[in-house]
């Protein structure tokens, strides 16, 4: 008789049957006890003392030597076309209008919307040129950013296996195809803490709405404590809700109220020292009070000189919104904000891909170039990693009316700052831009590289959750790319 096939509440007819049914359960009790103890000690080790739980954002030393301390993550939501921005393909132009070869439309590539041999190749109508002393090839969509070509390292061999926006964005922003995992910024904040006591250490700004593909999960803390999630700074109206206290409340009255709340919360916390949500709430009360002084000064751009405003494109209607986001980013970095997540919407060029990309270029090219120049002239680029990518690239063949479909099998990103030696392109796709042929870089490898540049070991940055140590790179990731980025060309 197989004990696993017994009904759950069936009474045992004999002592032998009783032991057969329940022996496995008794044997698991010590195992459960050991696992609980392991979970407790791992959690206690990660959280440290009770005081460290109440101050989870205190600065922490990196695991190893770091070339950078802060990150600006520029996310081109929807997926910018690699063959129109960072990965020139003259062969694609030569074969424009011809059928996609059978060998490219089969094998390990999975396109739901085409039949083998029926898709028409579409060359880019956007010129590529060589820039800087390095001669790095970039398209005219990036003509302002291209002025900093010698500071840029382009990775042309990125890939993953998700064809759909949601899972692909999860991959890029959280390292997992599933929802509910911590974002890259949350992991970095968890590993390094904050350099500023008066502002959120992880700030998010977007030039569009957050519904649909891009949502709060992509800058959330997932299963990490809530204190590590990103704070959204609104681009319209008041940047943060409830930033101004009620007029009838004086600063002294507010301070007395917060002192009373703090004292009560800490007394409540004495018997609940493992409650990270409570600890986060206590910390947030204090942070909210300090932000009422620091945040208005942060978002007040009236003191910025006119030449700086022009540098970021604030004098042009198309680039004004993203330019403001980039200027605020520089001000955040000056004040010790650890991670800034900028979202540009919407690069999803299913129809008229070239027009879509030109429209978006006019919004972001000048502001991003201004940010790079301003960081460099202030000495901030040396310690700040600037990373720019979409969740995937776009197909070399046409979709609909001069559009391009999603393409995760080979796409590009670029990085600058944090000790990176620019003016180089790493990796390659085939002559059509279909798939990676040299130096494959999975999204997990990108994340391992980002952590490595900040002095964090991607295998050592873990959080115990649901029975095992979790990490940003899951069971993958290598950081050899970081060494290539730091080496001179």
Q: What pLDDT was estimated at residue 54?
A: 60
Provide the residue ranges of all domains of the chain, joining segments of one domain with +. Answer: 10-47, 55-486
As a whole number of angstroms, the distance between CA 462 and CA 473 comes to 10
Q: Which residues contact 116 (CB under 8 A, 6 or more apart)?
A: 100, 102, 105, 106
Q: What pLDDT was estimated at residue 236?
A: 67
CATH fold, domain 55-486, is Alkaline Phosphatase, subunit A (3.40.720)
* Per-residue pLDDT in tens (0 to 9) along the chain, 489 residues: 443 344 434 555 666 665 555 455 544 444 444 444 344 334 434 444 455 566 788 999 999 999 999 999 999 999 999 999 999 999 999 999 998 887 765 555 665 555 555 689 999 999 999 999 999 999 999 999 999 999 999 999 999 999 999 999 999 999 999 999 999 999 999 999 999 888 999 999 999 876 554 577 899 999 998 889 999 987 666 666 666 667 777 878 777 877 787 778 778 777 776 666 676 666 766 676 677 667 788 889 999 999 999 999 999 999 999 999 999 999 999 999 999 999 999 899 999 999 999 999 999 999 999 999 999 999 999 999 999 999 999 999 999 889 999 999 999 999 999 999 999 999 999 999 999 999 999 999 999 999 999 999 999 999 999 999 999 999 999 878 999 999 987
State the SS3 of the chain.
CCHHHCCCCCCCCCHHHHHHHHHHHHHHHHHHHHHHHHHHHHHHHHHCCHHHHHCCCCCCCCCCCCCCCEEEEEEECCCCCHHHCCCCCHHHHHCCCCECCCCCCCCCCCCCCCCCCCCEECCCCCCEEEECCCCEEEEHHHCCHHHHHHHEEEEEEEECCCCCHHHHHHHHHHCCCCCCCCCHHHHHHHHHCCCCCCCCCEEEEECCCCCCCCCHHHHCCCCCCHHHCCEECCCCCCCCCCCCCCCCCCHHHHHHHHHHHHHHHHHHHCCCCCCHHHHHHHHHHHHHHHHHHHHHHHHCCCCCCHHHHHHCCCCCCCCHHHHHHHHHHHHHHHCCCCEEEEEECCCCCCCCHHHHHHHHHHHHHHHHHHHHHHHHHCCCCCCEEEEEECCCEECCECECCCECCEECCCEEEEEEECCCCCCEEECEECCCCCCEEECCEEHHHHHHHHHHHCCCCCCCCCEEECCEEECCCCCCCCCHHHHHHHCCC
Q: What pLDDT was estimated at residue 216?
A: 78
Bridge-based pairing state of the strands 406-407 and 339-344: unpaired
Q: What pLDDT was estimated at residue 107?
A: 55
How much is the pTM?
0.84
């Amino acid at each position: 008789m197989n004990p696993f096939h017994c009904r759950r509440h069936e009474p045992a007819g004999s002592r032998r049957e009783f032991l057969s049914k329940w022996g496995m359960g008794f044997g698991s009790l010590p195992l459960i006890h050991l696992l609980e103890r392991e979970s407790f000690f791992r959690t206690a080790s990660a959280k440290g003392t009770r005081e460290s739980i109440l101050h989870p954002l205190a600065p922490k030393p990196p695991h190893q030597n770091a070339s950078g301390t802060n990150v600006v993550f520029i996310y081109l939501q929807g997926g910018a076309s690699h063959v129109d921005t960072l990965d020139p393909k003259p062969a694609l132009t030569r074969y424009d209008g011809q059928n996609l070869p059978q060998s490219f439309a089969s094998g390990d590539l999975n396109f739901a919307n085409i039949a083998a041999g029926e898709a028409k190749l579409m060359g880019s109508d956007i010129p590529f040129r060589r820039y800087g002393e390095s001669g790095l090839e970039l398209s005219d969509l990036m003509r302002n950013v291209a002025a900093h070509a010698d500071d840029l390292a382009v990775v042309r061999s990125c890939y993953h296996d998700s064809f759909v926006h949601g899972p692909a964005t999860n991959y890029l922003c959280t390292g997992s195809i599933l929802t509910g995992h911590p974002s890259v910024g949350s992991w970095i904040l968890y590993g390094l803490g904050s350099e500023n006591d008066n502002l959120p250490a992880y700030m998010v700004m977007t030039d569009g709405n957050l519904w649909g593909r891009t949502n709060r999960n992509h800058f959330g803390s997932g299963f990490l404590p809530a204190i590590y999630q990103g704070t959204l700074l609104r681009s319209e109206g008041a940047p943060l809700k409830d930033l101004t206290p009620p007029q009838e409340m004086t600063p002294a009255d507010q301070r007395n109220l917060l002192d009373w709340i703090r004292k009560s919360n800490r007394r409540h916390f004495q018997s609940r020292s493992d409650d990270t949500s409570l600890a986060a709430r206590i910390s947030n009360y204090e942070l909210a009070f300090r932000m009422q002084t620091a945040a208005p000064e942060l978002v007040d751009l009236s003191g910025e000189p006119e030449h700086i405003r022009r540098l970021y494109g604030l004098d042009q209607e198309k680039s004004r919104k993203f330019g403001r986001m980039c200027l605020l980013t520089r001000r955040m970095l000056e004040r010790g904000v650890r991670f800034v997540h900028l979202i540009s919407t919407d690069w999803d060029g299913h129809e008229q891909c070239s027009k879509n990309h030109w429209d978006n270029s006019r919004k972001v090219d000048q502001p991003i170039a201004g940010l790079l120049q301003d960081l460099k002239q202030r000495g901030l680029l040396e310690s700040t990693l600037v990373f720019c990518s979409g969740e995937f690239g776009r197909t070399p063949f046409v979709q609909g009316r001069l559009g391009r479909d999603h393409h995760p099998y080979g796409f590009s990103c670029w990085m600058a700052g944090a000790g990176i030696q620019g003016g180089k392109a790493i990796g390659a796709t085939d002559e059509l831009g279909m798939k990676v042929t040299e130096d494959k870089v999975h999204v997990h490898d990108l994340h391992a590289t980002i952590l490595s540049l900040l002095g964090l070991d991607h295998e050592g940055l873990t959080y115990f959750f649901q029975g095992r140590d979790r990490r940003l790179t899951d069971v993958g990731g290598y950081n050899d790319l970081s060494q290539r980025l730091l080496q001179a060309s």
